[in-house]
Amino acid sequence: MNLELSEEQEAVRKLAEDFVAREVAPHVIAWDRAENVDRSIVKKLGALGFLGLTVPEEYGGSGGDHLTYCLVTEELGRGDSSVRGIVSVSLGLVAKTIASWGSEEQKRQWLPRLTSGEAVGCFGLTEPGTGSDAGNLATRAVRDGGNYVINGTKTFITNGTWADVVLLFARTNDAPGHRGVSAFLVPADTPGLTRRAIHGKLGLRGQATAELVLEEVRVPVDTLLGPEGKGFTVAMSALAKGRMSVAAGCVGIAQAALDAAVRYAGEREQFGKGIAGHQLVQELLSDISVDVEAARLLTWRVADLIDRGQEFATAASQAKLYASEAAVRCANNALQVFGGYGYIDEYPVGKLLRDARVMTLYEGTSQIQKLIIGRALTGVSAF
Ligand code: FAD
């Protein structure tokens, strides 16, 4: 794998870095405290092509390779994970899945709107009673003539209150031993679909996380994404690529932790000298830097495998597992460098730690990633 960025990749990375400095960084503390990122950011992300990366240009996407997608995701994650998550879900989990599984009509209906930022997508898999064991979901879609009637509840849905379209997973077959899950593209304004914002999150506070309740939601048969009964495969294929995006976001958090800790260590004095000159502070900094580089290399490897058309799912789990745990360690080590100031939200590292923590939970907890990797190594499923 060539680790040198092309001129074009570096230009897009720089575009994202400048965007964050201009449109995100000045608002990070206020958005976090208010539990609300300004929704106008979506159209700005779309205007720069960040919501269409890797999506073919004929559907309004900006094309490009997966390494470029990682670079942009890292820069957004470095600035604000709440903003990064909007892209990882609306583009990474929804638009890219429509591009892979959608009919021509579905691609024309949703992709230009999602990639421009005119519309936002959310991914509705998790339910109150079903998280890690996602295939066991209880939401049901029953065929009624030319429609499906859907009933159920989804929870912890990123972009949930903002979304115009829900990529929704529901059971369509109850036969014993049959996974029987199907994927649907449900317009968020369909009667019977209600949304409730979830507040009080430890991190990602700016993100519009919601519970979705579906009561007698009636959608036409042509909202099925992929074949009936293949929804679990659709979900798992979306999450495998999604894990690369989460990993890239974690690299961004870890890099932000390193930048902040090095800067602060260069400014703060204790015992008559800069704390950067204390060996144990240097140990903290060096530990962070090794985690940053290792997480980045694992993440880029996934992008390289995808772009070369190779099998990447296990590598994506390895990258997501390592990068998420590393992001927590890096933010925590950076907080230690800041001492008591790290505990106050005027300084960046406390938020980095809060935002990092969820990365070990969603799109498969660390335990679930280990089971995926273990299954690939042994051929034995230990779920
Ligand atoms: P559980 O599955 O109940 O797990 C609890 C504990 O048991 C964990 O430690 C887990 O690792 C462990 N465990 C479970 N099974 C096993 C096993 N077989 N072996 C060993 N340990 C096991 N979901 C969506 O569908 N769309 C979204 O957009 C979305 N966004 C989210 C945003 C946030 C902020 C959060 C917090 C969650 C989001 N989620 C979303 C849900 C997320 O994916 C789930 O929370 C996650 O998959 C874990 O499920 P759970 O919370 O039900 O935990």
How far does residue 362's CA lie from ligand 1's centre (Å)? Answer: 6
Predicted TM-score (pTM) of this structure = 0.97
Question: Cβ(42) to ligand 1 under 6 A?
Answer: no
How far does residue 64's CA lie from ligand 1's centre (Å)? Answer: 31
How far does residue 132's CA lie from ligand 1's centre (Å)? Answer: 5
Question: Cβ(183) to ligand 1 under 6 A?
Answer: no
d(CA 262, CA 190): 50
Question: Cβ(156) to ligand 1 under 6 A?
Answer: yes
* Whether the predicted pLDDT of 190 surpasses 80: yes
* Whether the predicted pLDDT of 178 surpasses 70: no
Q: Over range 125-138, report the average pLDDT.
A: 96
What DSSP string describes 221-262? GGGEESSTT-HHHHHHHHHHHHHHHHHHHHHHHHHHHHHHHH
Catalytic residue annotation: 363
Express each pLDDT in 18-28 by its tens digit: 999 999 999 99
How far does residue 261's CA lie from ligand 1's centre (Å)? Answer: 31
Express each pLDDT in 343-377 by its tens digit: 999 999 999 999 999 999 999 999 999 999 999 99
| Atom nearest to 366 CA in ligand 1 | 11
Give nearest CA residue, ligand 1 atom 43: 362
How far does residue 365's CA lie from ligand 1's centre (Å)? Answer: 6
Q: Over range 182-196, report the average pLDDT.
A: 98
* Whether the predicted pLDDT of 60 surpasses 70: yes
Question: Which tokens in the block code for residue 191?
Answer: 């009667």
Question: Cβ(157) to ligand 1 under 6 A?
Answer: yes
Question: Cβ(361) to ligand 1 under 6 A?
Answer: yes
Give nearest CA residue, ligand 1 atom 3: 131
Question: Cβ(81) to ligand 1 under 6 A?
Answer: no
d(CA 329, CA 344): 18
**Average model confidence (pLDDT) across the chain:** 97
| Atom nearest to 122 CA in ligand 1 | 28
First vs last Cα of the chain: how many Å apart?
33
Do 55 and 63 meet the contact criterion of CB atoms below 8 Å apart? yes
Express each pLDDT in 211-261 by its tens digit: 999 999 999 999 999 999 999 999 999 999 999 999 999 999 999 999 999
| Substitution site in 365, 370, 371 for ligand 1 pocket (most atoms within 8 Å of beta carbon) | 365
d(CA 180, CA 264): 54
